[in-house]
């Protein structure tokens, strides 16, 4: 049997305990990601002279939190839940048991953006472009939290950096959570930050297009190393995963947005009520 050469660091998933209250690293990852994204959104809005106030940023942040949590949970139920939640629908609300889908969270936050756009009169694509720059921070921190929790591990490997994850059997596996944290977090953030430095800012919708394209491509690549969810397994003859299936439309939509943004060449704007 091939043995792992890198020991899995058993980090306590609970970062802090205050009496009966336990603060998990996963929860801190969400909070830190949202705060960092809001800070970047605020800075970009000022740089682009969009006229967003701190109250506007707070409203966008609250809508994003609701959209990500609701969309992420419902997305997991629909995309990965199988028949489990049909048999026990009350478990849909059991967020403490885990189970969040990135693709569902993305849909949720985009829909929340539509609501904010209409109520505040801010172009939806402008909101999406602002949020796209800071989003990789939360994505990357979330993947690191997955690693700490010892979940969403990779496929069995003979690579010298393979790790034996608790609950994943005796064989070493790819630490695919770290691959995702690097590609979907650090690399994607650097790409988005570089794209956002352009003055004047890129046409409305282009940054969102790049986020979808780069993330979707990175996710498809990592899925070749990540173990598919046990309740679903492989699709289409034993090589396709649900993560790949959901990411392909992201890439196509992203490329379309980039092309359309450059064709329309609409400037970033605020209080126009348009998309």
Q: What are phi and psi of 157, to 5 degrees?
A: -145, 155
Confidence of residue 235 (pLDDT cuts 50, 70, 90): confident
Give residues with Cβ within 8 angstroms of 81, minimum separation 6: 99, 231
Q: Which tokens in the block code for residue 116?
A: 């904010």
Angle at alpha carbon of residue 129, lines to 211 and 127, rounded to 5°: 135
| Angle in degrees, CA 201, 65, 146, rounded to 5 | 100
CA dihedral for 239, 95, 29, 64, sign (positive or negative) = positive
Q: pTM of the prediction?
A: 0.91
Return the bridge partners of 15, or none.
none
97 pLDDT band, cuts 50/70/90, is low
- The confidence score (pLDDT) of residue 81 equals 75
pLDDT at 62: 95
First-last CA distance in the chain:
57
Would you call the peptide bond into 200 cis, given omega within 30 degrees of 0 as the criterion? yes
HSE of 66, CA atoms in CB hemisphere, 13 A: 12
pLDDT band at residue 92 under the 50/70/90 scheme? low
Domain ranges of the chain: 23-152+171-264
């Amino acid at each position: 049997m091939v043995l792992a050469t890198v020991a899995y660091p058993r980090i306590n998933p609970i970062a802090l305990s205050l009496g009966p209250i336990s603060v998990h690293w996963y929860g801190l990852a969400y909070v830190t990601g949202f705060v960092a994204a809001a800070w970047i959104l605020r800075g970009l809005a000022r740089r682009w002279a969009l006229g967003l106030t701190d109250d506007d940023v707070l409203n966008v942040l609250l809508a994003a939190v609701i959209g990500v949590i609701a969309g992420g949970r419902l997305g997991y139920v629909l995309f990965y839940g199988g028949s489990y939640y049909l048999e026990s629908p009350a478990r849909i609300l059991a967020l403490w048991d885990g189970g969040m889908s990135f693709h569902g969270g993305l849909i949720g936050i985009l829909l929340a953006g539509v609501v904010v756009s209409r109520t505040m009169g801010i172009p939806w694509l402008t909101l999406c472009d602002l949020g796209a720059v800071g989003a990789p921070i939360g994505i990357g921190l979330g993947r690191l939290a997955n690693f700490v929790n010892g979940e969403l591990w990779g496929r069995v490997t003979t690579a010298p950096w393979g790790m034996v994850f608790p609950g994943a059997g005796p064989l070493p596996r790819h630490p695919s959570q770290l691959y995702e944290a690097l590609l979907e977090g650090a690399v994607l953030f650097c790409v988005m930050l570089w794209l956002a430095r352009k003055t004047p800012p890129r046409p409305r919708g282009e940054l969102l297009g790049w986020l979808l394209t780069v993330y979707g491509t990175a996710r498809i690549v990592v899925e070749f190393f990540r173990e598919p969810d046990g309740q679903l397994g492989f699709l289409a003859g034993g090589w396709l995963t649900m993560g790949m299936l959901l990411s392909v439309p992201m890439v196509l939509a992203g490329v379309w947005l980039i092309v359309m943004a450059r064709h329309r060449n609409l400037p970033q704007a605020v209080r126009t009520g348009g998309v």
